[in-house]
Amino acid sequence: MQVMTDLFARIFGDGLSPLGLLVAGGLTMALVMALVMALCAIVFTWAERKVAGFIQSRYGPMRVGRWHGVLQPVADMVKILGKEDIVPRDADRPLFLLAPFVIFIGSLMAWAAIPFAPGFIAADLDLGLFYIFAVSSAATIGILMAGWASNNKWSLYGAARGAAQAVSYEIPLALACIPVVMVTGSLNMNDIVVAQQGGIWRWHFLHDPFLFVAFLLYFVASIAEVNRGPFDLPETESELVAGYHTEYTGMRFAFFFLAEYANLFLVSCVATAVFLGGWQPLFGPVFLPGLVFVVKAVLLVLLQMWLRWTLPRLRVDQLMHVCWKVMVPLALVCVLGAGIWMLATGQAG
Amino acid sequence: MEATAIHALLQSRFGDAVLDYVDGFEKGSLVAPGRVGEIAAFLRDDPALGFESLMCLTGLDWDGYDATGKGKSVDILGYDELGRPEAFDRVGDGDLGVAYALYSHRHGHKHALFVRVPRAAPEVASTAGVWPTAAWHEREAWDLVGIRFAGHPGLKRILLDEAWEGHPLRKDYVMPGAWEGVPLDGRDYAAGKWDESGVTLPDDVKRPDAAGQPGTGNQG
Amino acid sequence: MSETATGRGWAAQDVRRELHSELLEINMGPQHPATHGVLRLLVRTDGEIVHGVTAHIGYLHRCAEKIAEGCDWRQWMVYTDRFDYLAPINMNFGYAVAVERMLGVQVPERAEHIRVICAELQRIASHLIAIGTFGLDMGAWTPLLYCFREREEILNILERLSGGRMLYNYFDIGGLRFDAYDGFERDVLAFVNIMEQKIPEYDTLLSYNKIFIERTADVGVIDAATCLAYGCTGPVLRGAGVPFDCRKDDPYSIYDRFEFDIPYGEGEQGAVGDCWDRYMVRMREMYESCRIIRQAVDALPGGPVKAEDLKKLVKVPQGSLYTRTESSKGEIGYHVFADGGSKPFRTKVRSPSFSNLHVIEKVGPGMMLSDLVATVGSLDIVLGEIDR
């Protein structure tokens, strides 16, 4: 947000009080984050369809927008806006209408602490990482609301599975980030990124073997958090029609989709910031930090897409087994190991 | 084992429940309808027979079958040119029957069982307890031909709707004119021919006007 | 410790009664992405565990058997296409063999060979769908597209041959409607060459994938006794370890001239008769079909494709006969009753999926909901032939 407040200070000089600068800068950043979310949805729906297409030995969208269907998401948006908005008669109306927004807000709020570039962070919180995990958990409530309010047994199944999955996988997700916090000594996202300066060998995921494993754990847990790829049981088409968003149509359904892709980008951004050096370049001085950050996050997103179209999905009990009996112990071992490594190499203190 | 030997074994065991030997393309035994269950159990459990597999269970209506082999086969009824269901005044009087096709994996031999029951009281013992697969086949025979299977765990319609009336594969089955208010017959609305006797159309069904031609949007 | 109304204390059953816990009755279908057609499965579940399954069929009933009584023997052939619309040739084959056996007519050699080639191509095409949609049920989206890519080749050949991609109208009583096109053998051999290279591709992507194995091994185990009792045939029976195949054990047409193996389940990844075994039986059957096709093409003679001195209006002599042939889904049987007339007196179609589906009511209870989807997918049912 510093960038924004400086910008406003330069434009308005002394015309704006410090409070005014804060408000203006904050609002602009919020707008920018919302735009980023919308852009995510647009870019990644297209990317998903193209990646899926090429993996499945076909082309994907090709017609809308001349070159490889780049305007396909726009066409999809127009189509979805034109759909009838159906609210089931026996649905719990307030919950039903509120659920997409709760999920959306849970995702949007977490964007406040993502460090895109030095100074270009909406809220430079000292508790940045913790804040992200705390706030993105709100989405679970939205899932439960959507599933319950739909008055549909399949939605209920999806919601129950989704909530169980989201809540369970938050633990290895957070545990995997703890070694990084130990190494950096701070939860502040800016500090975490700054601590990784000096080329690829200083990035956290190559810091020591335990952090490398932690990175892999985080990556897998993040796929499960976003209900994607091998962990998409809550919304599996082949069993639950569409899981917790079966009864949603039109723009409300679009909100779920928006939130899903925004979440996808969000967890990739967190992984980038925490493990992959954030806006730090591979080598040399800082150059186009925003672009570097986005490129890294996008590569992770593409990897997630690749996994989704390759692997079958896990059954719900297998999912839970992987989380509680494999990932959580492994994460705890990583925490312990990272601590011991730090002691052994004399970094603690 | 030869079919004649199987038949002889059945006859020695069940006496006059085994009515006749059926020779033809497939060889089998005609048995009494009420005893089919026991005969089936024997066929399955006897080590020399070992018919653990019921390949097929067919219900059929023997009405109009030409025993001389020059059959003209009774035409199935449809709809007349006014769109009314065709009917004839002849009431079907033939027997109903069930045919079982059996196979033994152990011995590799086949056998057929035939059962005939009068139309007025079509009751056959169920073999669902012997070959579980018969449960569904018997439901289908009840559904389409109207043969009751005594001792069946849950004899209800399987292919047709629960509320359907009549048994379509009977030779004297008459097509219904409508089902739940929807006309089923082939009314020729465009040509202006229709006969509404006996059928109530819902009010929102369009009726052809005098010029009910294709393209006027009023095809009914 | 308070006492309940029965005065027995706080026992587990009383807790459940106090909590008013009941089984959830949930409807899978008739419109549902995983039920492979218009099928309604009424599932009673306790959370994720299935306590009972009831299958409701009949949504696709088109009274084909009644229509048979109004058609000629030859005319009804096209209705058989509509039963298993994913493997129509096998349906045609069964009916043709059934009627030809009763007629006692000799089908010309060339027609027999082309019939076998078409039937085996159709078997591969049907198994490709079975495998692809099974993977789709498991969440593997990609193998479906690969399978359809190969299936496209088969459909192209069959389209050049008969004019249709899905419903062929090619078989006839006594042979075929018309001869194969020039270049038929070349196309078929080219396809078989491609197919034998693609099967390892599916294996790499799906068969030995750890997640897929976890989802299918030891899931939906149907043992041999249950299969035989419930009349399951085809890959379901063979997956349970019983190497029974109508082509070998009750031969028809010229199958006794060809050399091929019958793959059967051996519990390679889990128990014998689990979903993985049924899936693997289908994979291996595709190899065997390729073998048969090669042999049939090698031996393909010239000559007529219609039986001589078979009248246009066929009249089958009086009698009844149950004939079974091996379709991709299992044993397709036609119990034909003729009384010497030009129309069938009664043709009962014994469809493999009808009996295969029945077994789900037996093995369903006790498994999880996801496993139910996997098991139904592994049975490979087609509602067209269940409902007829």
Which residues 351-370 of chain C have a CB within 8 Å of chain B? 354-355, 358, 362
What distance separates the 2 farthest-apart alpha carbons in chain C?
91
Q: Assess if residue C17 is contained within a domain.
A: no
Burial class of residue A304 (count of CB atoms within 10 Å of its CB; 0-12, 13-18, 19+): buried
For A239, the closest of C141, C209, C370 (CB atoms) is C370
Touching chains, C (3+ CB pairs < 8 A): A, B
Contact yes or no for B132 and C358 at CB 8 A: yes
Three-state secondary structure of chain C:
CCCCCCCCCCCHHHHHHHHCCCCEEEEECCCCCCCCCCCEEEEEEECCEEEEEEEECCCCCCCHHHHHCCCCCCCCHHHHHCCCCCCHHHHHHHHHHHHHHHHCCCCCHHHHHHHHHHHHHHHHHHHHHHHHHHHHHCCCCHHHHHHHHHHHHHHHHHHHHHCCCCCCCCEECCEECCCCCCCHHHHHHHHHHHHHHHHHHHHHHHHCCHHHHHHHCCCCCCCHHHHHHCCCCCHHHHHCCCCCCHHHHCCCCCHHHCCCCCCCCCCCCCCCCCHHHHHHHHHHHHHHHHHHHHHHHHCCCCCCCECCCCCCCCCCCCEEEEEEEECCCCEEEEEEEECCCCCCCEEEEECHHHHHHHCHHHHCCCCEHHHHHHHHHHHCCCHHHHHC
Return the residue of C nearest to A152 by Cα: C26
Contact yes or no for A315 and C368 at CB 8 A: yes
Contacts of C212 in chain A (CB under 8 A): 312
Indicate the SS3 state at residue B110. strand
Contacts of C388 in chain B (CB under 8 A): 159
> Is the pLDDT score of A34 beyond 60?
yes
For B60, the closest of C61, C337, C340 (CB atoms) is C337
Contacts of A87 (CB under 8 A, 6+ apart): A93, A96, A97
Touching chains, A (3+ CB pairs < 8 A): C
Determine the pLDDT at residue A121.
84
CA–CA gap between residue A44 and residue A261 (Å, rounded)? 7
- CB-based touch C/A (3+ pairs, under 8 A): yes
For testing contact with chain B, the best of C345, C353, C388 (most B CBs within 10 A): C345
C-beta separation of A233 from A314 below 8 A:
yes
Determine the pLDDT at residue B218.
42
pLDDT tens by residue, A245-302? 778 888 888 888 888 888 899 999 999 999 998 888 888 888 888 899 999 999 999 9
pLDDT tens by residue, B118-154? 999 999 999 999 999 999 999 999 999 999 999 999 8
Contacts of B105 in chain C (CB under 8 A): 228, 242, 244
Structure tokens at B149: 């299977």
**Averaged pLDDT for residues B158-167:** 89
Its domain, for residue C341, covers: 54-387
- Each residue's pLDDT, cut to its tens digit, for chain C (388 residues) gives 344 344 444 455 555 556 666 788 888 878 776 667 889 999 998 878 899 999 999 999 998 998 888 888 999 999 999 999 999 999 999 999 999 999 999 999 999 999 999 999 999 999 999 999 998 888 888 999 999 999 999 999 999 999 989 899 899 998 999 999 999 999 999 999 999 999 998 888 888 999 999 999 999 999 999 999 999 999 999 999 999 999 999 899 899 999 999 999 888 888 899 999 999 999 999 999 999 999 999 999 999 999 888 888 888 888 999 999 999 999 999 999 998 888 898 999 999 999 999 999 999 998 988 899 899 999 999 999 999 8
- Interface A:C, Cβ pairs < 8 A: 75
Determine the pLDDT at residue C5.
42
Contacts of C98 (CB under 8 A, 6+ apart): C321, C323, C334, C336
* Nearest CA among C165, C163, C83 for reference residue C121: C165
What's the domain count of chain C?
A: 1
Determine the pLDDT at residue B82.
58
Contact yes or no for C249 and B108 at CB 8 A: yes
Whether the ω angle into residue C30 lies within 30 degrees of 0, i.e. cis, is yes
Determine the pLDDT at residue B76.
67
Q: Assess if residue C18 is contained within a domain.
A: no
CA–CA gap between residue A156 and residue A171 (Å, rounded)? 24
Where in chain B is CATH 3.30.460.80? 3-64+72-175
Contact yes or no for C321 and B168 at CB 8 A: no
- CB-based touch A/B (3+ pairs, under 8 A): no
The β-bridge partners of C24 are C45
Contact yes or no for C139 and A232 at CB 8 A: yes
Q: Assess if residue C162 is contained within a domain.
A: yes
Q: Assess if residue C1 is contained within a domain.
A: no
Determine the pLDDT at residue B73.
57
For C339, the closest of B71, B132, B161 (CB atoms) is B71
Touching chains, B (3+ CB pairs < 8 A): C
Q: What is the CA radius of gyration of chain A?
A: 21
Determine the pLDDT at residue A220.
94
> Is the pLDDT score of A27 beyond 70?
yes
Average pLDDT, rounded, for chain B? 80
> Is the pLDDT score of B108 beyond 50?
yes
Return the residue of C nearest to A234 by Cα: C370
Determine the pLDDT at residue A241.
60
Determine the pLDDT at residue B83.
58
Helix (H) / strand (E) element for B142: namely helix B134-145
Q: Assess if residue C374 is contained within a domain.
A: yes
C-beta separation of C98 from C334 below 8 A:
yes
Contact yes or no for A309 and C214 at CB 8 A: no
Kindly list the residues of chain C whose beta carbon comes within 8 Å of any beta carbon in chain A: 24, 26-27, 32-34, 48, 135-142, 145-146, 149, 205-206, 209, 211-212, 214-215, 368-371, 373
**Averaged pLDDT for residues A187-192:** 90
Q: How confident is the model at residue B31 (pLDDT cuts 50, 70, 90)?
A: very high
CA–CA gap between residue C161 and residue C386 (Å, rounded)? 28
CA–CA gap between residue A197 and residue A292 (Å, rounded)? 13
For C136, the closest of A58, A238, A315 (CB atoms) is A238
> Is the pLDDT score of B190 beyond 70?
no
Determine the pLDDT at residue B210.
46
> Is the pLDDT score of A132 beyond 70?
yes
Q: How confident is the model at residue B217 (pLDDT cuts 50, 70, 90)?
A: very low
Determine the pLDDT at residue B212.
45
Burial class of residue B108 (count of CB atoms within 10 Å of its CB; 0-12, 13-18, 19+): exposed
Angle, alpha carbons C142-C148-C154 (nearest 5°): 155
Bridge-based pairing of strands B28-31 and B18-22 is: antiparallel
**CATH classification for the domain delimited by B3-64+72-175, as one of 3.30.160.40, 3.10.129.10, 3.20.20.150, 3.30.460.80:** 3.30.460.80
Determine what percent of chain A is predicted with pLDDT higher than 70.
97
Comparing C226 with A90, the larger pLDDT belongs to C226
Determine the pLDDT at residue A157.
79
**Averaged pLDDT for residues A134-153:** 87
Contact yes or no for B71 and C340 at CB 8 A: yes
ipTM of this model?
Answer: 0.89
Tell me the nearest-neighbour CA distance from C135 into chain A, angstroms: 7
Q: What's C224's domain CATH number?
A: 1.10.645.10
Predicted TM-score (pTM) of this structure: 0.88
Contact yes or no for C142 and A55 at CB 8 A: yes
C-beta separation of C334 from C237 below 8 A:
no
Tell me the nearest-neighbour CA distance from A40 into chain C, angstroms: 23
Highest mean pLDDT among A64-73, A263-272, B16-25, B66-75: A263-272
